[in-house]
Amino acid sequence: MSLLATFKQYLFRWRSDGTAPLRLGQRRIFIIPSRGGLLFAAALIVMLIGAINYNLALGHALVFMLAGLGIAGMIHTFRNLYGLIITPGRCESVFAGETAHFPLTLENERSTPRLMLDLEAQAGKPVTASVASQSSVKINIPLNTTQRGWLDLPRVRLSTRYPLGLFTAWAYLQPAMCCLIYPRPIASPLPTAMPSSTNGERNGEGGQEDFAGFRERQAADSPRHVAWKASAKNTERPLLIKQFAGGAQAELMLDWQQTDPTLPNETRIAILTGWLIAADTTGLQYGLNLPHLKLQAGCGEQHCRRCLETLALFQP
């Protein structure tokens, strides 16, 4: 049994660096009669017996014509997958409980379309696609998520019954794709924000009371601080950021020790995630303090993503 399992894994598994395309060849495609195909064959056998018994020349002609039609359908079913190119894409992170989507690009180099393609990685969630001649189409394989961390794409079954439904051709795909699942947030009141300890050094930048002028936007600046009206007057210059002076900038440290130690670790992580999202929404400077790990205060989309990734992979 161990040898058989190893052989199946070697035969059906496609591993790559997450970007390498796969072209379906003859050895990767399998084909068997469908239930409708077996019923069709049984009907042909009965018709052939009747034609032989009653010596009906037209009966023989009809049986052989239908048999040839079935064989032609088998060839077209196989060719509907043969030579198809599958390229994996990049997965976007989602929160636990949401649906993760694994993008795949199907490319058809032939002059005939490929129709009625079914892809399924999770039972009950098939995705149907068709690819026009000499074109490509991008599809998303959905997967349910239940817990944070890395989620690997399981084996995907690509199948088709086109054109007659008498045969089922399929191939197994498993690109090296994974999606980072963020913890599911729990909404709760934010802890008290403290003034930044570097007010003296950052006076003229971090305050929020008096307007002090503009400066050119940098990559780390949040889009919320862009002076859109002033930037629109001169479209040739970079975007401008509003500067304020005279006030202390609120800084929030999201500390593991601020959560209830009697709660399960996953619940405490979910509370921290809820605090993080609330702080980012309100535009606060916030940092993250976990056991043996500390992220300095910051703001913006990149900082929020870094904090969420840290919580997703955190092991208490």
What are residue 226's phi and psi, to 5 degrees? -75, 135
Q: Output the pLDDT for position 195.
A: 55
Residue 205: strand, helix, or coil: coil
Q: Output the pLDDT for position 237.
A: 65
Q: How confident is the model at residue 199 (pLDDT cuts 50, 70, 90)?
A: very low
**pTM check: above 0.85:** no
As to burial, measured by CB atoms within 10 angstroms (0-12 exposed, 13-18 middle, 19+ buried), residue 177 is buried
pLDDT single digits (tens) 167-195: 999 999 988 899 999 999 998 887 765 55
- The pLDDT mean for the chain works out to 83
Mean pLDDT computed over 203-223: 54
Q: Output the pLDDT for position 316.
A: 82
Q: Is the peptide bond before 291 cis (omega within 30 degrees of 0)?
A: no
Q: Output the pLDDT for position 311.
A: 94
The residues near 309 (Cβ < 8 Å, ≥ 6 apart) are 93, 180, 182
Mean pLDDT computed over 114-140: 92
Mean pLDDT computed over 212-232: 61
The DSSP symbol for 246 reads: S
Asked if residues 129 and 117 have their Cβ atoms less than 8 Å apart, the reply is yes
Q: Output the pLDDT for position 201.
A: 43
CA separation for the pair 4, 11 (Å, rounded): 10
Q: Output the pLDDT for position 225.
A: 65
pLDDT single digits (tens) 265-314: 999 999 999 999 988 888 888 899 998 888 888 888 899 999 999 999 99
User: CA 258, 259, 260, 264 torsion: positive or negative?
Assistant: negative
Strands (E), the chain: 22-23, 30-33, 85-88, 94-95, 99-108, 114-120, 127-131, 135-144, 149-152, 156-160, 167-173, 178-182, 194-195, 210-216, 240-245, 250-255, 285-290, 293-298
pLDDT single digits (tens) 76-89: 999 999 999 999 99
pLDDT single digits (tens) 9-43: 555 554 444 457 889 998 899 999 999 999 999 99
Q: Is the pLDDT of residue 144 over 90?
A: yes
Q: Is the pLDDT of residue 244 over 60?
A: no
Query: How many residues make up the chain in this entry?
Result: 316
